[in-house]
Homo-oligomer: A and B are copies of this chain.
Amino acid sequence: MTTQENRFLKKVGKNIAQHRRKAGFSQLDICAEIKMEKPNLSAIENGRQNITALTMLKIADAIGVDVKDFFGSPSSSKKHE
């Protein structure tokens, strides 16, 4: 896994998490909707999983956004610091 690839997965995961929170859902909400276990969604949102197209589709549908939205530049607000 190159650092570019690592950054890419982290970016996608961050976008998923941001859109999910913006839509008012918890990880568990989405997991219930698409029948996924929460550790797996957590791994995706943290960029530790090389997510597939269909999994992206399911998550996007559950959140109510377009898959395309997962590939922009995430809002760059750091979590805490």
Contact = CB atoms under 8 A, between A and B. Distances in A.
B57 A8 contact: yes
A13 to B, nearest CB: 10
B54 A53 contact: no
A41 interface: no
A3 to B, nearest CB: 13
Interface residues of A, number: 17
User: Which A-B residue pairs are the 7 nearest by beta carbons?
Assistant: A68-B71, A50-B52, A50-B54, A67-B71, A51-B53, A52-B52, A8-B57
A72 B68 CA distance: 8
Interface in A46-61: 50-54, 56-57
